[in-house]
A = this chain, B = another copy of it.
Amino acid sequence: MDNNANAKGGKEVRISISAEKLMHALLTVYRAVPPRTPLPILTGILFETKENMLYLTATDMEQSIRTFAPATVEEPGSAVLPAREITELVRRLHEVSIVKIETDGQTNTTVISYAQSDLTLHGFSPDEYPSMPETPRDTLVTLPQKLLRKMLKQVLYAVSTEEHRPVFTGVLFEFTNDNLNLVATDTHRLAMRTTPLEKQPNQLINVIVPGKTLNEMSKLLVQEDSDVSIYINENQIFFILNDIQIVTRLLAGKFPNYNLVIPQNTSCDVTVNTKELLEAVDRALLLSTPRRQTVFLQMQDNTMTVFFNAETGRIREDLQVEINGDQLDIGFNGKYLTDALKTVDSETVTFQFTGSNTPALIKPVGQSDYISVLVPAIPQKNN
């Protein structure tokens, strides 16, 4: 069959759309396009028309993002365009208002016209593009976008990046009658944020959601006064944010019983100015090397002394703090300590210690819905 000769006979798609709306939609779904994939079609974005709307979809087979924008549909249909090229083109159309998209369904070739110019792109057959799962009928729960973004920020730093223990690369979403708890841990630290639910969820369920998807999603949770609705089926979770739908596979496996890790009966409580401690640790880490990362804290006489010793020198910072309980010396990985402090909004933070070799509890003063746990560093020699 001669594709070129019959091209005009193939199914055509023809749409016009605002360059700005198209750019916004492309940048949204582009987050789901895999940087590397053995399946070439996944480097494309699916364009589909539906009445006077253009739907865009991208997926890496684990997670999918879909959105839509109003368009003038002259000939309905679908096409798969190379994601990088179409997105980069539309980002660079600074003074163009309308973009015309024409696809020849037989050759999968698309011509994008703007002003007096055009780009011709070779795409893929939309028939080969993976289909999106059906959204379940009933909403599990609805939350303000702003709240979910905040909650995610407070736990995502504790997610593991080590792929060989999959459950630790996700965030536990624990739905109880009254609360939603988000929990993440990489075994060195744990973060837990809870929020009361206005309406009881339609299922009491625990699921583990991949951190990677939540990271991308949190960048899309930017509509201040809008909600996000969460739906769940057997092995997927759906987040609906106005015109954006994000679906991801749930992680299989059992999340550890995190309550066992949270220290009880602490013997020394220390309350310190969050910013002062963050800055002191930041300076102490000046002298750190990839192999030497442990910052030592010494609690005595209402002073917390931050120490760091290295070959190049040593640093000592004294902070005025409030100590209730025994004197204590403890060492933490400086980066983990910094990560935990950065998610704290409150002016002061309380450390609750049970000993020099046991996990410490970190609580923002005046906020009972967030805690983090930090395992001390194994003491190094010559320190």
Contact = CB atoms under 8 A, between A and B. Distances in A.
A94 B279 contact: yes
Contact of A85 (B88, B93, B119, B287): B287
A316 B92 contact: no
Interface in A273-302: 279-280, 282-283, 286-287
Contacts of A318: 116-117
Contacts of A280: 117
B94 A317 contact: no
Contact of A92 (B92, B116, B122, B282): B282
A273 to B, nearest CB: 11
Contacts of A286: 85, 88-89, 92, 119
Contacts of A317: 116-117
Interface in A232-289: 279-280, 282-283, 286-287
- Count of chain copies: 2
B287 A92 contact: no
Interface stretch (A133-141, A166-174, A307-315, A371-379): A307-315
Interface in A302-329: 311-319
A120 interface: yes
A280 B319 CA distance: 57
A285 to B, nearest CB: 9
A116 B317 CA distance: 7
A121 interface: yes
Interface in A53-104: 82, 85, 88-89, 92-94
A118 interface: yes
A93 B116 CA distance: 55
Contacts of A283: 89, 92-93, 117, 119
A119 B309 CA distance: 10
Contacts of A311: 122
B313 A119 contact: yes
B312 A122 contact: yes
B120 A314 contact: yes
A383 to B, nearest CB: 15
A89 B287 CA distance: 9
A287 B122 CA distance: 12
B92 A313 contact: no
A120 B88 contact: no
A118 B316 contact: yes
A92 B94 CA distance: 39
Contact of A315 (B120, B279, B315): B120
A315 B85 CA distance: 11
Contacts of A122: 311-313
A118 B316 CA distance: 5
Contacts of A312: 82, 85, 121-122
Interface in A112-126: 116-122
Given A82-B313, A117-B283, 16 more contacts: A82-B312, A85-B287, A88-B286, A89-B283, A92-B282, A92-B283, A116-B318, A117-B315, A117-B316, A117-B318, A118-B315, A119-B314, A120-B313, A121-B312, A122-B312, A122-B313
13 contacts: A82-B313, A85-B287, A92-B286, A116-B318, A117-B315, A117-B316, A117-B317, A117-B318, A118-B315, A119-B286, A120-B315, A121-B312, A122-B312
Q: Lowest 9 CB-CB distances: which A-B pairs, in order?
A: A117-B317, A121-B313, A116-B318, A119-B315, A120-B313, A92-B283, A88-B286, A120-B314, A122-B313
